[in-house]
Amino acid sequence: MRNKPCRVGFFLGRSTGCFIVRRESIPVKGIIENELFKQDWRSRKKVQIFQYVLLKWAFALLIGLGTGLVGFFNNIAVENISGFKLLLTSDLMSKHKYFKAFAAYAGCNVVLAVAAAALCAFIAPAAAGSGIPEVKAYLNGIDAYSILAPSTLFVKIFGSILGVSAGFVVGKEGPMVHTGACIANLLGQGGSRKYHLTWTWLRYFKNDRDRRDMITCGAAAGVAAAFRAPVGGVLFALEEAASWWRSALLWRTFFTTAVVAIVLRAFIQYCNTGKCGLFGEGGLIMYDVSSAKTTYSGSDILAVIFLGTIGGILGSIYNYFVDKVLRTYSIINERGAAFKILLVIIISCLTSCCSFGLPWFAKCIACPTDLTVSCPTVGESGNYKSFQCSSGYYNDLASLFLNTNDDAIRNLFSTSTTKEFHISSLFIFFGAVYCLGIITYGIAIPSGLFIPVILAGACYGRLVGRLFESMSTLDTGLFALLGAASFLGGTMRMTVSLCIILLELTNDLQLLPLVMLVLLISKTVADNFNKGVYDQILKIKGLPYMEAHAEPYMRHLVARDVITGPLVTFSGIEKVGNILHALKTTGHNGFPVIDEPPLSGPPELCGIVLRSHLLVLLKRKNFSRDRVVTGDDILQRFAAFDFAKAGSGKGIKLEDLDIEEEEMEMYVDLHPITNSSPYTVVETMSLAKAAILFRQLGLRHMCVVPKSQGRPPIVGILTRHDFMPEHILGLNPHVMPDK
C-alpha cells in the first residue's frame, strides 16, 4: 500500500434540516467489469438472458400496477377525509354555530397535521418534503441514506394523505413521484437474504444500472398517477428526473405509465357510481376546459406575453423566498422531533385561520339563474359555498378556501363563469395561497410543490383574465390555465413535460400554442434571476448534483488542478494488514490497484477495486501465506452475486470483520475483483471536458494518468466531489467563478 497525492471522494453526512444525509457516489450506468463479472456473463445461457429481459418488462408492469394502486388510494383517502371535515364544518355553519365550526375545522386540521408530522419525525425523516429533488439526485448518481427505504415509502403514502387532508397548501403530486421511485426500488432490490428471497433470477438486478432504470420508471409512473398524465410522466422523467437516457429505457418507461393509466381508468369506471368520492368524475381528465372557445387574436397574444412575463418574475420571487424559508426551517428542524411537530402545528393553525377567517371579508353574491348545478352547494364540493350567506347567495372566497386544493383548482379553471369570483376575492386568495405555499414547504410533512404553484398561478391567471376582459376574447378559465403554466415555468423551469402534463390535465389541445408560448416566456424571464426550485433545494440539502454543463471557469483549469491527497493504492497481491489499515483510516470507496515487478515489468495500472468488494473478500478469508497469484481459486470459491450491490438491508461493514493477528501478514489476490477497464483521462485534460465526460458516462471514479513516462502509472482519482464548485474554488482561489 502506498500514499500519493490525490483525493478519492466519499461524501460524509451533514444535516439538511429535515434529515441527516449520508451519501456516496454511485455509477449511473457503469458495470464493474472484473473477472468475476465477466465469468458470470460468459456462463449465462440464452434462456437466462431471455429471463433477464422478460423480468425487466415484468418489473415495469409491477411498478405501474403498484404506483397506480397507490395513486388511486391516495385520491380516495384525501377526498373522504377532507370531505368529512368540510361537511362537518358546513353543517355547523348552516346552524350558525360559527365558533364551533371553526373549532371543528381547525381541530381536525391540527390532528391530521400532527399525525403526518409524527410519522416524518419519528419513522422516516427522509419522507418530508417533495421527494423530487432526492429522486433527481439519486438518478444523477447520489445514494443518500434511506431516501428510498420501505419506511420512507410507508410514511410518504400515509403522511401525504394526512398532510393534504389537513388543509395545508401542499400537493400529493411531488410525493407521488417519490412514492413511485420507492416502489421501484423495493422491487429492484434483486432479492433479499434477510427474507430468503434469493432466487437466481432475482440476482440479475443487483447492480446500479438496472436499479436506476427501474427507479426512472417509478418516477415517471408517479407523475402519471398524480396527474393522470402518462405521456407527461415519460417526458418528466426524460426532462427533469433522469440524468442519463437511452431508447430501451424510453420504451419501458412508456409501458409503465401506460399501465398506470389503465389501472386508473379501471378504478375510475368502478367509482363512476359515486362510491369513491369525487375521484371518478371526469375520467382521466382532472380539469376539463375543452368546452371553452379557444380562438384568439393579436390582443390575446399580447395578454399572454404579459401573463408569461409577470408569471416568470413572480415564480423567481417564489423560489427566492422558498430558499430563505427552507434555510430558516432547517435550523429549527435540527433541534429535534418536538420542534418539527411544533412548527407543523403553528403553520396548521395559521392556515386554518386564513382559510376560515378570510372568507368573512368577502361579500355574498347572488346565485346565477342559468345554472345546471345547485347553488349554494350543499353536502358536496362545488363552485358555490354558502358559508355565512343566506339562501340564494354564495361566498366566492369560501368556495376556494373551504375545498380541497384539487377542487379549488377545478373551480378556478371552470369556463363560462367569468363573474363567478370577484376581483377583490381573487386578490385575497392569490396573496394568501402565494404566502402560505412558501411558508408551508419545508415543514416536516410530505409536501409537493406542483399543486401550490398551480393554485397560485390559476388564481393569478384568472385575475389577469378579468383585468384584460375588455380587450381579450379568451375565457377566464383558459387564462387560469395559462397563469398556472406561467407559474410552473417560473418556478420549476421545465417546458416540454409541463406543457404535455397541462394538456393531459385539461383536455384542450387547441390551447397548445399559447401554453408553449407562456412556458417559454416565463422560464426565460425567471432564468435571469435564479435557478429552478428543485435545483435550489438540492443545493440546500448539500447533495453534490452534477449539472449537464460545465461551469465557464472550468475551461481555465486542467484535471490535475483539483487533485488533492493522499492517494491510497494497493498492489495486485496485497498484504491483508495493509488493506485493513487503509479501510480503517480512510473513507474512500475506490482504490487503484497497481501491478509491480515481478508481476509486471514497469509499474502499471491494473484497475480499481471497490471498498465493498474488499470487505467481502476479507470476510471470506481467502488468504495465502505466500505472495502468489490465486485468482483461479477465488473464481471457483466466489460468484458474482457475492459481490453484488446490497439492497436496502445492511451490507458487510468493517466491524463485521474478524481478522486474527497471524492473518494480518498473509496475502490476498485482488485481480479477480479489480475493475480492469476504468475510465482514464490524461492529467492535462481540460477540467470542463473531464466534468462533461464524468457526467455523461455516469462515472463514480475517473483515473487521472500522467502525460509523460517514467512516473507512477496514476496521478490521482477524480470523484463527484472534485467537480463541485466549493472544492474547485477552494483549491484555486484565483479563479473567477463567473468567468
pLDDT value, residue 3: 47
Q: What is the average pLDDT across 26-48?
A: 71
Average pLDDT along the chain: 85
Fold of 298-318+360-540: Clc chloride channel (1.10.3080)
pLDDT (average), residues 19-43 = 62
Going by pLDDT thresholds of 50, 70 and 90, the confidence category of residue 25 is low
Euclidean distance between CA atoms 461 and 310, whole angstroms = 10
pLDDT at 8 over 50: no
* Chain CA centroid to CA 12, Å: 21
Judged by average pLDDT, the poorest of 9-18, 140-149, 151-160, 178-187 is 9-18
- Confirm if 481 and 506 have CB atoms less than 8 A apart: yes
Residue of higher predicted confidence among 52 and 115: 115
Kindly list the distances between the CA atom of residue 178 and the CA atoms of 148, 216, 240, 298, 451, in Å, as whole numbers in the listed order.
8, 11, 14, 42, 15
How confident is the model at residue 557, as a pLDDT?
A: 93
Report how far apart, in Å, the C-alpha atoms of 470 and of each of 425, 467, 479 are. Answer: 20, 8, 14
Contact 441, 453 (CB under 8 A): no
pLDDT tens for residues 47-95?
878 888 888 899 999 999 999 999 999 988 998 898 889 889 988 988 8
Among the listed residues 133, 112, 139, the one whose alpha carbon sits nearest the alpha carbon of residue 537: 133
Q: What is the β-pairing status of strands 604-610 and 590-595?
A: antiparallel
Alpha helix (H) residue ranges in 621-668: 631-637
Residue 279 has what DSSP assignment?
T
Q: Estimate to the nearest angstrom the gap between the alpha carbon of 240 and the chain centroid.
A: 9
How many angstroms separate the CA atoms of 381 and 552, rounded? 53
703 forms beta bridges with 680, 717
Judge whether 45-271 and 298-318+360-540 match in fold: yes
Q: What is the pLDDT of residue 11?
A: 35
Longest dimension (CA), the chain: 98
The residue whose grid cell reads 406542483 is: 450
Range of weakest confidence among 24-33, 276-285, 392-401, 689-698: 276-285
For residue 368 the three cell numbers come to 346565477
Query: What value does the mean pLDDT take over residues 142-162?
Result: 90
Model pLDDT for residues 175-191, shown as the tens digit of each residue: 999 999 999 988 877 65
**In this model, does residue 29 exceed pLDDT 80?**
no
Return the CATH number of 45-271, one of 3.40.50.2000, 1.10.3080.10, 1.20.1560.10, 1.50.10.20: 1.10.3080.10
The C-alpha atoms of residue 734 and residue 249 are separated, in whole angstroms, by 43
The 3-class secondary structure across 295-363, one letter per residue, is CCCHHHHHHHHHHHHHHHHHHHHHHHHHHHHHHHHHHHHCCCHHHHHHHHHHHHHHHHHHHHHHHHHCC
Cα atoms in the 13 Å half-sphere on the side-chain side of 644: 25
The pLDDT of residue 237 is 94
pLDDT band at 10 (very low <50, low <70, confident <90, very high): very low
Q: What is the pLDDT of residues 208-239, one digit of tens each?
A: 888 889 999 999 999 999 998 999 999 999 99
Opening angle at CA 127, ends 126 and 128, nearest 5? 95
Name the grid cell of 160.
401525504
Quick one: average pLDDT of 699-719?
90
Amino acid identity at 572:
G
Query: If you write DSSP's letter for every residue of 533-576 in order, what string do you get?
Result: HHHHHHHHTT--PPPSS--GGGGG-BGGGG--S-EEEEESEEEH
Q: What is the pTM of this model?
A: 0.89
The pLDDT of 596-617, averaged and rounded, is 86
CA atoms lying within 13 Å on the CB side of residue 8 = 25
Residue 372, pLDDT score = 64
Average pLDDT rounded to a whole number, residues 374-395: 75
- Evaluate if residue 15 carries a pLDDT over 50: no
Cα–Cα distance for residue pair 625/667, rounded to 1 Å:
6
Identify the pLDDT of residue 527.
95
* Beta strands 702-705; 716-718: pairing state: antiparallel
pLDDT digits (tens, 9 = 90+) for 126-144: 999 999 999 999 999 888 7
Higher-confidence position of 419 and 445: 445
Higher pLDDT residue, 17 or 117?
117
> Residue 636 above 80 pLDDT?
no
For residues 123 and 152, what is the distance between their CA atoms, to the nearest angstrom?
8
d(CA 511, CA 288) in angstroms, rounded, equals 12
Domain boundaries, the chain: 2-16+550-731, 45-271, 298-318+360-540
Looking at domain 2-16+550-731, what is its CATH homologous superfamily? CBS-domain (3.10.580.10)
SS3 assignment, position 599? coil
* Cβ-contact 368, 392 below 8 angstroms: no
For residue range 271-300, list pLDDT tens digits in order.
Answer: 877 777 655 554 555 777 766 667 777 888
Categorise residue 392: left if φ over 0, alpha if ψ from -120 to 50, beta otherwise.
left
pLDDT in tens, 481-521: 999 999 999 999 999 999 999 998 888 788 889 999 999 99
Helices (H), ranges, 24-45: 35-43
What's the rounded Cα separation, in Å, for the pair 597 and 578?
A: 18
CA–CA distance, 406 with 227 (Å, rounded to integer): 11
State how far the alpha carbon of 33 is from the alpha carbons of 215, 332, 610, in Å: 23, 46, 12
Lowest-pLDDT range of 165-174, 333-342, 631-640: 631-640
